[in-house]
């Protein structure tokens, strides 16, 4: 069957959007999920944006061997040099060069005449081609460009060696019919079009990103750019899970498929949500909690008689394992181990021991342990990105006094290097009081609070609370996570972990005198500045 390539840009378009920044370990974790899912191309970042971005594109290029790795570059020699430097260690590197082609972007952002854009596009594709055979060219804001001019630019990029031509709907403006027609027009009327793969990159401002991407495919595109959970600038990009399952579920319409192992979708979605400290909206297609739930009597009756009445795809096909068996304090190590195996976790003996220990702690506080609880326990106890800094502060105990008519007061006792330190503080609510007491002991460097997020893992008032804290300093984000049936305990641990990570970074920074934390360039914001 004819295949559509999946180009994942979670680590570039997704990561550059507010509230979605990731550190190196987190990016590697996402890249591993994408490789496991058999994504064709991973856009690992925008290498010139900051030293941190360069480092992550380079590390991912050297770590992931089963996918093509791309770095974005504006149409300037400097951007392309840096992009190549970052991806050259990949098994199959790609440089992704872009320039805007719409009248608005050319006049107000690039301050360039169309002839200059045309020339620059050709020159920079040729420049990138000297480094690498695999060159993608994107005409930013293509759907608001003059189609005749767009075709000239595409022809120029092809003539200079581009192997993939991407047609972005940068501001989520187009409609499915227009997208299909545009791709058909370009494919049918541009010299050399038969030599390249056409790609679509759709934003979701009007909620049509997946529909537009699918329409582009029907028009002849054979690459779709997308992100896990649809992350991305503003309302996001086409979501990977939606386009993959749309292509698979409606093969009768498209006659096409992807290489994606869809059973990895649930895990990848959870990983990305955990990393950015968010959860899926309940009704989000494919990955939301209700995506496969049948609540109404009529629906339940239909599904019991024949699943296909209300189910167009199975939860198992996207890696959701429906299970009515709940574990509890009488479940042994073997039962926990085999359920984890069924859920697709491959754990070492040490990891299983750690998880079982934690499982027993949770069982003392919570009667029934669901799959979601188990998944959270495993993630918090085996995943590198959740690990705490060995040398950092640990919680010894806390005591809280609060009411709806007094100011919250919290005393915190912390341990570090075998020493105890205590302090007490007031706060605007219990968490603020606890964090003020921690600050009084740790005396952290100046930082801002980017995210404080609590979510419950399962139903019921004895649920585990999963807390994510992201603090920002030195232009970097430091993340900490805590999991407990007591949300104060989880909140304190999450904040301590974030501060410990910040302190570890400061130590490393002081040691290497690495003061290379320039401010980041966002792909779209700085495109003009670079082209001028």
13 versus 15: smaller Cβ distance to Zn ion: 13
15 belongs to the binding site for ligand KIV (CB under 6 A): no
Shortest distance (Å) from residue 116 CB to ligand KIV: 19
**DSSP-assigned letters across all residues of 451-497:** EEEEEESSSSTTPPEEEEEEEEETTEEEEEEEEESSHHHHHHHHHHH
- The yes or no reply on residue 15 touching Zn ion (CB under 5 A) is no
Quick one: angle between helices 209-218 and 176-189, nearest 10?
30
CB 8 within 8 A of CB 261: no
Binding mask 104-143 toward ligand KIV (x if CB under 6 A, else -) reads ----------------------------------x-x---
For the bound state, the minimum distance from the C-beta of residue 14 to ligand KIV, rounded and expressed in Å, comes to: 10
Q: Is 13 in the site for ligand KIV (CB under 6 A)?
A: yes
- Residue in the shown chain whose Cβ atom is closest to Zn ion: 13
Question: Please, what is the minimum distance in Å from the beta carbon of residue 232 to Zn ion?
Answer: 6
- Residue 138 or 370 having the CB closest to Zn ion: 138
Q: Please report whether residue 45 would count as binding ligand KIV according to CB under 6 A.
A: no
Strand, helix or coil for residue 220 = coil
Interaction between residue 168 and ligand KIV (CB under 6 A): yes
Binding part of the chain for ligand KIV, among 162-170, 184-192, 251-259, 283-291 by CB under 6 A, reads: 162-170
In whole angstroms, the minimum distance from the beta carbon of 140 to ligand KIV comes to: 4
Q: Which residue, chain included where needed, has tokens 């180009």?
A: 7
- Binding partner of residue 140 among Zn ion, ligand KIV, none, CB under 5 to 8 Å per kind? ligand KIV
**4 in Cβ contact with 247 (< 8 Å):** yes
**Least distance (Å) from ligand KIV to the CB of residue 56?**
18
166 vs 484 by CB, closer to ligand KIV: 166
Residue 376, both tokens = 């959270």
Stretch that binds Zn ion, among 10-18, 57-65, 77-85, 190-198 (CB under 5 A): 10-18
463 binds, among ligand KIV, Zn ion, none (CB under 5 to 8 A by kind): none
Place of tokens 């181990």: 337
Calculate the CA 369 to chain-centre distance: 28
98 binds, among ligand KIV, Zn ion, none (CB under 5 to 8 A by kind): ligand KIV
φ, ψ of residue 273 in degrees (nearest 5) = -60, -45
Q: Quickly list DSSP for 348-363.
A: -HHHHHHHHHHHHHHH
Q: Shortest gap between Cβ of 230 and ligand KIV (angstroms)?
A: 13
For strands 93-100 and 135-140, give the pairing: parallel
Position 444 contacts ligand KIV (CB under 6 A) = no
Find the binding residues for ligand KIV in span 180-209 (CB under 6 A): 201, 203
138 binds, among ligand KIV, Zn ion, none (CB under 5 to 8 A by kind): ligand KIV
Rule CB under 5 A: say whether 13 interacts with Zn ion: yes
- Those residues with Cβ within 8 angstroms of residue 175's Cβ, 6 or more apart along the chain or in another chain: 208, 212
Task: Count CB neighbours of 443 within 10 A.
Answer: 8
**Two tokens, residue 145:** 């460009």
Residues near ligand KIV (CB under 6 A), total: 10
Nearer to ligand KIV, 9 or 370 (CB): 9
Residues of this chain, 108-137, that bind Zn ion according to CB under 5 A: none
CA distance 387 to 501: 10
Q: Which two tokens stand for residue 212?
A: 């537009």
What residues have CB less than 8 Å from 137, skipping those under 6 apart? 96, 97, 98, 121, 125, 154, 157, 162, 164, 165, 166
Q: Which residues bind Zn ion (CB under 5 A)?
A: 13
Binding stretches for ligand KIV (CB under 6 A) = 13, 98, 138, 140, 166, 168, 170, 201, 203, 523
């Amino acid at each position: 069957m004819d295949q559509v390539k999946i180009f994942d840009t979670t680590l570039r378009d997704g990561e550059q959007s507010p509230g979605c920044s990731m550190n190196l370990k987190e990016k590697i974790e996402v890249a591993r999920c994408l490789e496991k899912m058999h994504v064709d191309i991973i856009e690992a970042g925008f290498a010139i944006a900051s030293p941190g971005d360069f480092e992550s594109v380079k590390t991912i290029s050297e770590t992931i061997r089963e996918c093509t790795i791309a770095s974005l570059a504006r149409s300037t020699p400097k951007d392309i040099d840096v992009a190549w430097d970052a991806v050259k260690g990949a098994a199959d590197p790609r440089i992704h060069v872009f320039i805007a082609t719409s009248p608005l972007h050319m006049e107000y952002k690039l301050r360039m005449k169309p002839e200059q854009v045309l020339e620059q596009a050709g020159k920079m594709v040729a420049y990138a081609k000297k480094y690498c055979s695999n060159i993608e060219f994107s005409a930013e804001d293509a759907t608001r460009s003059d189609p005749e001019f767009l075709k000239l630019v595409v022809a120029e990029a092809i003539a200079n060696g581009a192997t993939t031509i991407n047609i972005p709907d940068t501001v989520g403006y187009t409609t499915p019919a227009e997208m299909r027609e545009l791709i058909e027009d370009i494919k049918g009327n541009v010299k050399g079009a038969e030599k390249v793969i056409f790609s679509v990159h759709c934003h979701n401002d009007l909620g049509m990103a997946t529909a537009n991407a699918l329409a582009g495919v029907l028009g002849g595109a054979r690459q779709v750019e997308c992100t896990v959970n649809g992350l991305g600038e503003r309302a996001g990009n086409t979501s990977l899970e939606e386009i993959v399952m749309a292509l698979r579920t409606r093969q009768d319409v498209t006659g096409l498929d992807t290489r994606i192992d869809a059973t990895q979708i649930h895990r990848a979605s959870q990983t990305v949500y955990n990393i950015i400290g968010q959860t899926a909206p309940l009704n989000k297609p494919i990955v939301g909690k209700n995506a496969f739930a049948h609540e109404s009597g009529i629906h339940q009756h239909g599904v019991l008689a024949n699943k296909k009445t209300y189910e167009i795809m199975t939860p198992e096909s996207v890696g959701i394992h429906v299970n009515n068996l709940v574990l509890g304090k009488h479940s042994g190590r073997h039962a926990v181990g085999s359920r984890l195996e069924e859920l697709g976790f491959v754990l070492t003996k040490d990891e299983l021991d750690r998880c079982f220990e934690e499982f027993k702690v949770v069982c003392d506080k919570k009667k029934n342990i669901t799959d979601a609880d188990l998944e959270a326990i495993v993630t918090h106890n085996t995943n590198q990105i959740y690990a705490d800094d060995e040398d950092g502060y640990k919680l010894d105990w806390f005591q809280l006094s609060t009411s709806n008519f007094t100011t919250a007061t919290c005393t915190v006792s912390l341990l570090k290097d075998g020493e105890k330190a205590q302090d007490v503080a007031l706060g605007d609510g219990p968490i603020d009081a606890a964090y003020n007491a921690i600050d009084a002991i740790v005396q952290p460097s100046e930082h801002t609070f980017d995210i404080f997020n609590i979510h419950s893992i399962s139903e019921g008032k004895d649920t585990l609370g999963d807390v994510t804290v992201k603090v920002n300093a030195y232009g970097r984000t430091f993340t900490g996570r805590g999991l407990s049936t007591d949300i104060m305990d989880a909140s304190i641990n999450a904040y301590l972990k974030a501060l410990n990570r910040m302190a570890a970074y400061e130590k490393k920074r002081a040691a290497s005198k690495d003061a290379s934390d320039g401010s980041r360039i966002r792909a779209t914001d700085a495109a003009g500045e670079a082209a001028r």
